[in-house]
Every structure is written in structure tokens, then in C-alpha cells.
Chains A and B, each alone.
Chain A
Amino acid sequence: MKTLIKSLTAIALLISSINAWSEVELKNEAFKVVTITSENGAKSEQWQTPDKMLPGDKVGYQISFNNTGKESATDIVIANPIPDNTVYVAGSAKGLNTDIAFSTDGGKTYAQPSKLFIEKNGERVQATAADYTNVRWTLNKPLAVGADSSVQYAVLIK
């Protein structure tokens, strides 16, 4: 009987956990990044709703998420392959309370930019933004119930 109770408890916990799968909601949006020059000549970037997307345009992706469940979410990782026909814009990946890492091998391994190397003409050289294939954000704190956050990065359309 005790064994049965333990088993049922475990199953209940498992079901409870599985039921939580849909409770961190993800949203992925594309913006057109436009450089605005003010009257005093200062330049700033604005993320605008796209009106057209052409080669050379900068595209910003904002990936937002919120916890609509009843439990804190932990170990949140957001992985994003750099889209084909685009190139990552150096320094554009941002995310509050996240560790950001990049991959040059299609997401098999990740590292900080300073530790990313590739083989080029038989030599091991420092990877550049153009070599990145994936970007990954790892939240370093739990996402509380009701909380939301977002990460972002930008690419250039080749």
C-alpha cells in the first residue's frame, strides 16, 4: 500500500510538472532597425514595425517571455539559430540577467566571443560575428510567477 501511495504521489508530481509546460509563454517578433539622425547630428536606432525588408537592412529580433504559471521557472535557456541569408550584428545580443554565448558549429557548442575560434585556411583564428551560427541566452535567475522578460539581437540581411 505504501508503495502504491508513493507511486501515485510521484505520478501526481510528474503530472503537475508536465502541466506547467505551457506556462512560460514565448513570443518572437521581427523589427526593422532604422538609424535616426537627430537635428544635432546624434544617431540612434529605432526598432520599427517593418514596412519592407531588403538586402542590407538590419533586422532586430525581440524574443519575450512571461511566466503565466503558478510556479517559478528556472534554468531558462533561449536558443536561436541565426537565420539563413543573414549575418549576426556584432554586439547586438542583449538580455537582462542573462549569460550570452554563441556557436559557430550550428549549436553543438557555445562559448563567449573571446573563446570562439574557427578553422580558416588551415589556421585556428578568432571567430567574427559573421561566423556565428547560433546565439543563446541563459537566464541566471528564476523567472517568478507573473514576471516577464525579453532578449534581443540583430542581423543584417545579406
Chain B
Amino acid sequence: MKIKQLFTLALAAGISATSVAETTYSTLISNTAKLTYKVNNVDQVPDEKKADFVVDRKVRFSLSSITALPSAVTVGTPQFILYTLTNDSNADLAFKLSPSDSAPGVTAYTSAVDDTDTSLSISYNLYEDNGSGAPDTSKEILSSDAMTVLQSTDLKVHLRIAPNQANDMNIFAHVLTTTAYETDGATALVDNSADKWVAETVQTVLENNADFRTFTGAVQVTAAEVTLEKTATILSNPEPFDGLAGDQMKAIPGAKVLYSMIVKNTGSEAATAIAVIDILPFEIKDGDIDKTTYKVATTANPTPVTISGVVQGTETIGSDIHIKLTFPEYTIPAGSIADPKTVTISFEVTLP
């Protein structure tokens, strides 16, 4: 099932959360007809006949979401999609609500970029509403227990999603299933509407031949997508090659080289605390670095400006000791593949 179909299904499943009070099951509907007449102009004793029956039990839950789908969620930040579970039955009932996101072909979550990617995972925590539109984290609803008696009122259920393994624009589809139970929370309901109808006996009618309602929802992850690119550009050559230019310049001792680290954010969330660490080639020593050329340029301010606070240390790789430069942290605003936002850090060295 393609994701668009899932969304269509999700939207189609949206049912009004308005609950209308209906005649409670087992209510007696009593109809009495009374006939009066005369014979030879004399009143006769009236006759009365009843046609009585009891209202049967309708079982129907409606699960919907008032959140536009797919709901945007931020990686690593638990957020909530508000679902509305409504008991449209004419009886108090218990329910069990269980999430599913792994049924192949139906609930498989996918990526907006690669709809064959089912390797991602998503975790759920369901909470009851605290009555004020916020989750009551002490009342987590698990698929194995946490029965709650529903009356003819809405119940807000919070779906907490922590997509901590997701990438920007990944889409996760999930199915919530509601199953109705007797008010003891343990006895499954049995549809006996196919039995012979008896006026004074309550029958249980599971609407749509099912004792549950499902809702297909989806979330779309918004995250930063950060890439790093490092370039080395020869700025000048020493004699006797100092007349060369462009591609003809040589990476020879005495050549001035501009190192640039270009950090791109193509994701739909800002990337914060971007820390760039550069471990220089073993051959480059402290005296080769021109510390006056530490600069940074951003998409918003493309003209490089001098950086202060660059920390110089060392990194041992094997038996070699390299110079390690740690640059100040930056925030890169949200971008896109077509319009990436960048931070470019640069400095110059003279090749030994």
C-alpha cells in the first residue's frame, strides 16, 4: 500500500468526535394501542394491545485524529498526536487500544525518498488525557492492559512518538486498533445479532461485523541533514612556480593552501551545536598554520569573518601526532537540497 493510499484511508476514517446520546441498550420501547368503539350506540369496553421490545446493544468505537496528517514531528523530541476515541455505542464499554506499525503491506512505514525502505523503527507511548488536553503520563495505555470504561463521551488519547532513528522527511504510518470489551475489561464481546430476534432479549451488534475500529495515522519526521565537505585550494606557489595560476599551481613545499570545511544543512530543521574538528595532515606543524586566517562564512553572511576561540590540540593516530583544530560551535538554519544552508570554516597553511 502506497503512502498516499494510507493517507487517504486515514482521512476517510475520520469520524466526527461529536457523541450523540442514544437510547441505552435494554431500554424498553413500549407501544400501547387502545381501541374504543360502540355497538348499537353503546360504549364498549376498550381493548388495549402492547407491542414491546428492548433496544439492542450497538457496539461501535470511532477513532479519529484532529491532527493534520502526516503530523510533523521532530527527531529526538517526544511530541503528541491527538487522537479522539469516541464511544458511539449505546452502552458503557471497556476498550483496548493497540498500536501496530509492522504489518507488511498495510502498516509498513517508509521514506518519502525511498518507499522501499522499511528498515526504520518507531516507538509509541500512549497516554490518556489528563482532562486538560495534556497527557497523563501516569496512565499509559498498553496493548496488553489498561482497560478504561468509556461512557458516551470523548476520550483523548495521546500518541507519543520518539522517532530517534529517523531521518529528515521519513514518513511513518501506523495503525491504531480499538477493541471493545465488556465493562469488566476482560470479557470479549460476542456478536449474537445473527440469533433469532427475541423482543425482550438484548442482542449485541458489533457494527461492521467487528468489535474494533482502526485508524491509520502518519507522522513525518523533520530533522537536520548535515554533511561536511573539506577542500584544499592552492592559493600560491613559491619561486620558481610563483607565476602559475589556477590548476597549474602545484602542491609543493612552500605553497600556500586554503583549507575549507563546508558544513551543509539540507534538512528541514535547524542544526544546532555544529562542532567542526579538523585533524590536519601529519606533515603540517604548528608553524605552518596562519592563525590569522581562521575565518567563517555563512549563507546569511557570505563574506568570511575572522574567528576567535579556535582551540588547537593534538590527535594521535598510530604513532603519529597530528594537530587537531576545534572550531567554535555554530547553528545552521533549516535548508533543503535545492537551497542548502552552509557554514564554511577556512584557514591557510604553508605546505612544509
List chain A positions with a Cβ less than 8 A from chain B: 13-14, 16-18, 20-30, 49-56, 59, 61, 63, 65, 69, 71-81, 83-86, 143, 157-158
**What's the nearest-Cβ distance from chain B to residue A14, in Å?**
8
A112 to B263, CA, bound (A): 84
Determine which of B33, B34, B203 lies in contact with A52 in the assembled complex, contact meaning CB atoms within 8 Å.
B203
Among A51, A53, A80, A157, max chain B CB count under 10 A is at A53
**What's the nearest-Cβ distance from chain A to residue B275, in Å?**
64
A84 to B39, CA, bound (A): 33
Does A80 contact B55, Cβ atoms closer than 8 Å?
no
B53: which A residues are within 8 A, CB to CB? 30, 50, 53
A7 to B198, CA, bound (A): 53
B319 within 8 A of A: no
Does B33 contact A63, Cβ atoms closer than 8 Å?
yes
B49 within 8 A of A: yes
Does B23 contact A81, Cβ atoms closer than 8 Å?
no
Instruction: Output the nearest chain A residue to B207 by Cβ-Cβ distance.
Output: A54
Chain B interface helix/strand/loop/mixed? strand
A84 to B81, CA, bound (A): 41
B window 32-51: CB within 8 A of A: 32-42, 44-45, 47-51
Known: A73-B37, A74-B37, A74-B39. A24 touches B44 (CB 8 A): yes
A152 to B50, CA, bound (A): 14
Instruction: Output the nearest chain A residue to B88 by Cβ-Cβ distance.
Output: A55
A20-B39, A30-B51, A53-B55 are known; give 16 further A-B pairs, CB within 8 A: A13-B40, A14-B42, A30-B31, A50-B53, A52-B193, A52-B197, A54-B205, A55-B22, A61-B33, A63-B35, A71-B39, A74-B37, A76-B36, A78-B34, A80-B31, A83-B30
Determine which of A17, A29, A53, A81 lies in contact with B44 in the assembled complex, contact meaning CB atoms within 8 Å.
A17
B35: which A residues are within 8 A, CB to CB? 24, 26, 63, 65, 76-78
Determine which of B23, B38, B42 lies in contact with A85 in the assembled complex, contact meaning CB atoms within 8 Å.
B23
Does B39 contact A55, Cβ atoms closer than 8 Å?
no
Determine which of B31, B40, B197 lies in contact with A28 in the assembled complex, contact meaning CB atoms within 8 Å.
B31
Instruction: Output the nearest chain A residue to B194 by Cβ-Cβ distance.
Output: A51
Instruction: Output the nearest chain B residue to A50 by Cβ-Cβ distance.
Output: B197
Determine which of B42, B44, B45, B55 lies in contact with A54 in the assembled complex, contact meaning CB atoms within 8 Å.
B55
B34: which A residues are within 8 A, CB to CB? 78-80
B58: which A residues are within 8 A, CB to CB? 54-55
A25 to B47, CA, bound (A): 8
B37: which A residues are within 8 A, CB to CB? 24, 73-77, 143
